[in-house]
Structure 1
């Protein structure tokens, strides 16, 4: 239906009807994904992660597609436990002393229940939903067929890579790992070891302890954490002593164990830790958590320093391990972006089969990047002075299609990890933005990228000395980004003092990115679309 609708109605003479066409398609896709559930929810989330670059109706629709699926009944939970352990979760011969029938959270492939061990500790029990493993192979097969038809028969667009590769090359393998809770437990242990070995993060970040004796491939038991999810912005600001008194009563009702608790450091300390954590994953460890959305992050008082916050990272089912060569290339790209080293940017872009380094740079930094010279890759202003917003809907779409084909010159060269890292980066940016941009995310990420190049393995002493010199120069260049950040903070403070709505650094980046997308690509990006 989608294909026929576009084939019949995406025509020059029907340009004024294209917004209604996009709206119909968005409704069909959303209803398809939500009614089927499981993997379909994940496909929708992959689309939603890139929704700022889709037609406005799809932005509006897929912004609401969160991982909040219906719960399975307790009878299904009981069936899983009998299959995995040969006994029920609770009761005279049960595994736990107490097992709450009502789930505290439900996602596309699993749901979480609160339980109490017979030794007295409270735990979180994650249970895989029945039939998920049976459905996935068929769903992936159907998805692969549809993507191939779209690319080769229908639309002549590299959709097989941009969406298909996300699942078929990377996620297909990772989904099997994500559905194996023994593997998830191992991922959690690896991450905990990395954190313990990094002085800047040890103690500031906690990975919940897993109980292997109560865990199988389909059931995972980990320690229960009392804290505030990052998605609850009012409660987070209240916990950190930055919310008005009117919000305290409602927050206390939702988190009775934290009533009256006020931690030091403000939301700035939380975001500093978070940005450093995911920068370390990308540039130092090469071990990247692929779903750092606010629901997977809990803030609690530090067990040994109760006046300070500790960040708790949940859901370790999906990680991507990246090669040393890719880490160096990605770090070089980030350093080149912030140091305006166009040669380095073009070199990495061409190495990855990308034909428009300026668009790639903008998507990486999540802020507009324009070359000061015409790119050797041929991404100069070949369209002259014509702006995309001056074109009608049909002409904008055709231009966007042409730019996408120029962007992906050679999809075989592009590292598939970029899709995961790009999503990770956007979510971390969104977390910073909704808390008022308390930290200079770009500067912190840039420092980790540049510093990681000085510690790369297999470098001759002359190469290492050169990297240290580049790092010192880079720190000097970062002063300009610091100046822009603090100028933004001063404006934000002045507006707040005048009783006006304040605009943070990430909000300003979003506003310029929206203008860039409109003028360059003809995409009408909704306000707040980059909030992760």
Structure 2
């Protein structure tokens, strides 16, 4: 027994595993307080080390092989937890005076999340920012600076994408192109563009191949997509059910589906070809708009090749004004001024909405080039880029959309009320103002009510908390049945917002509302299979509509005259255009009716 006791004692001193086995075998041999595992702090330190090692292994694997998708999701959930806690604890009547600071903190959290995660988060943030006018002012400011820009990926990653898609390098012996610039000319959140030269065709000399733009998807995007969209789904659910109590989750499936499509470059090439065919068949647009040719043989789901176009981006305002002769600096300015740019642009997107039912949803100024027309070098031509995001309108919706526009401009309450009820949209006045981007009060039989009666007391006497609650109630009253609401409205309103911003940036050279309204009305009057009585009524209705449009045209030309006069007198013309006046009216309507403090740049494209 003595030898056995000595043996056990020595074994415990050097073999912890054997020690545990002995405890199990001879439990009575040890007291409860026996230091079998050492001091408690050592056990905690050891467990902390194991935990840190496990977290490090997961982090390294996630970063190296999973494009940091798990880390991005954890960052998202943490941001959501912070936002939810902020609103739950600080959005109270007692802290009404601190609500502006609350919105500022939340805006910073959201902006930092989108910019830190990048990729699809930039696209999601832009989708939210497209309707920034309905958000608190700090969020308007933050989302206005959320650009689709990102650092370039190294050429080694571009090479890996080419090898994966084509089994060949971009250039060099056996390469896809005769020349391929390893440095991207532009880099966005999901892809970057390189300039390349194709191999010469039959009969062409070396170095005479066509120049092309090669769009390469960043490798991390494919790994991050489903993780990001899953996080987006959770975020929207939390915002609706926990944080804000607003109907926002209903758009998740629709938006997610279109973001996935935007990552398929073969689909983007098909979109470009389809739009090019529409433009070519339009006698007017075919002379003013161009869609770059794509090369299907050099296009895959992650690489797209299109012809290279030299031009000035619409986002470079001063360069555009010089090109069109409205600023000094161009040796041979193009004719027509900025009017010759915006007229075809508004006509193009009006045709997409009202005639084709096929709508480009990302017409921001970086996606539009202006160049001298190849067949008429003194005439400008618009070049539309980036065809990844389109929506297809059903024939029923297209006709309803035309009817809504015509009814809004003619002030026909019955038409607008009927369509908006069909769509599950309440508060037609608010809907009309959002569509036209101008204050609208619909009449013709609509019972008028003093807005202050609904609120119980004047807006100026309300606290920040009471204004926020009122605005939330207004927005919930706007979306009364999200199951019936056409989801394409999200992208259509985004499209129109951007076109309006482009027109404003160039000094409002065209009456955007008139051009859009006339296009909608003409599309309605084109029913060739309707009976004679219906067609006669539609043409009569169109003539009446034209008479109503005269008042809008008069207001536009008064604004243009004042703008010209101020410029002639050397007082400047910025902020004096027709779009600027409309925005001031909308901001006033938002302030007096909804308590919303809309920033001056909330409507920029």
Shorter chain as normaliser: what TM range? over 0.9
The CA deviation at 1:417 is 0.6
8 Å contact kept, 2:149–2:188: yes
Verify: 1:460 aligned to 2:531, yes or no.
Answer: yes
Instruction: Provide the secondary structure at the position in 2 that maps to 1:20.
Output: helix
In 2, the alpha carbon distance for the partners of 1:212 and 1:223 equals 12
8 Å contact kept, 2:236–2:249: yes
Please show how residues 422-441 of structure 1 align to structure 2 within 5 Å. 422-441=493-512
Please show how residues 278-289 of structure 1 align to structure 2 within 5 Å. 278-289=349-360
Verify: 1:150 aligned to 2:221, yes or no.
Answer: no
Alignment correspondent of 2:492: 421
Aligned to 1:39, which of 106, 115, 120?
120
Instruction: Provide the secondary structure at the position in 2 that maps to 1:210.
Output: coil
The CA deviation at 1:238 is 0.6
Alignment correspondent of 1:398: 469
In 1, the alpha carbon distance for the partners of 2:450 and 2:476 equals 12
Alignment correspondent of 2:37: none
The CA deviation at 1:523 is 1.1
Alignment correspondent of 1:519: 592
In 1, the alpha carbon distance for the partners of 2:95 and 2:552 equals 45
Instruction: Provide the secondary structure at the position in 2 that maps to 1:126.
Output: strand
In 1, the alpha carbon distance for the partners of 2:448 and 2:267 equals 42
Verify: 1:4 aligned to 2:85, yes or no.
Answer: yes
Aligned residues: 514
Structure 1 segments unaligned to the other structure (5+ residues):
249-258
Alignment correspondent of 1:25: 106
Aligned to 1:67, which of 144, 148, 151?
148
In 1, the alpha carbon distance for the partners of 2:387 and 2:527 equals 26
8 Å contact kept, 1:182–1:220: yes
In 2, the alpha carbon distance for the partners of 1:476 and 1:375 equals 22
Alignment correspondent of 2:274: 190
Alignment correspondent of 1:494: 565
Is the deviation greater in 398-407 or in 492-501?
A: 492-501
The CA deviation at 1:155 is 2.9
Alignment correspondent of 2:210: 121
Aligned to 1:211, which of 295, 299, 307?
295
Alignment correspondent of 1:130: 219
The CA deviation at 1:145 is 1.9
Residues 431 and 277 of structure 1: CA distance in aligned 2, closer, same or farther (over 3 Å): same
The CA deviation at 1:171 is 2.7
8 Å contact kept, 1:355–1:378: no
Verify: 1:411 aligned to 2:492, yes or no.
Answer: no
- The higher-RCO structure (CA 8 Å, 6+ apart) is 1
Instruction: Provide the secondary structure at the position in 1 that maps to 2:305.
Output: strand
8 Å contact kept, 1:356–1:378: no
Instruction: Provide the secondary structure at the position in 2 that maps to 1:299.
Output: strand
Alignment correspondent of 1:341: 412
The CA deviation at 1:343 is 1.2
In 1, the alpha carbon distance for the partners of 2:515 and 2:253 equals 31
8 Å contact kept, 2:195–2:211: yes
In 2, the alpha carbon distance for the partners of 1:385 and 1:272 equals 46
Please show how residues 85-484 of structure 1 align to structure 2 within 5 Å. 85-119=166-200, 120-161=209-250, 165=251, 168-243=252-327, 245=328, 248=329, 260-372=331-443, 375=446, 382-383=453-454, 386-456=457-527, 458-484=529-555
In 1, the alpha carbon distance for the partners of 2:395 and 2:528 equals 8
Alignment correspondent of 1:55: 136
Residues 386 and 379 of structure 1: CA distance in aligned 2, closer, same or farther (over 3 Å): closer
In 1, the alpha carbon distance for the partners of 2:461 and 2:149 equals 40
Is the deviation greater in 270-279 or in 86-95?
A: 86-95
Give CA deviations for 1:160-190 in whole Å, capped at 9, x if unaligned. 13xxx0xx23232222322111111111111
In 2, the alpha carbon distance for the partners of 1:283 and 1:463 equals 20
In 2, the alpha carbon distance for the partners of 1:197 and 1:463 equals 28
In 1, the alpha carbon distance for the partners of 2:451 and 2:357 equals 34
8 Å contact kept, 1:355–1:379: no
Q: Give RMSD over aligned pairs.
A: 1.7
The CA deviation at 1:329 is 0.7
Is the deviation greater in 494-503 or in 184-193?
A: 494-503
TM-score when scaled to structure 1? Answer: 0.94
Residues 85 and 391 of structure 1: CA distance in aligned 2, closer, same or farther (over 3 Å): same
8 Å contact kept, 2:412–2:442: no
8 Å contact kept, 2:162–2:169: yes
In 2, the alpha carbon distance for the partners of 1:55 and 1:390 equals 19
8 Å contact kept, 2:411–2:443: no
Give CA deviations for 1:272-307 in whole Å, capped at 9, x if unaligned. 000000000000000000100000000000000111
The CA deviation at 1:465 is 2.1
The CA deviation at 1:231 is 0.4
Alignment correspondent of 2:579: 506
8 Å contact kept, 2:427–2:477: yes
Instruction: Provide the secondary structure at the position in 1 that maps to 2:468.
Output: helix
Residues 347 and 376 of structure 1: CA distance in aligned 2, closer, same or farther (over 3 Å): farther
Instruction: Provide the secondary structure at the position in 2 that maps to 1:528.
Output: coil
In 1, the alpha carbon distance for the partners of 2:535 and 2:188 equals 46
The CA deviation at 1:497 is 2.3
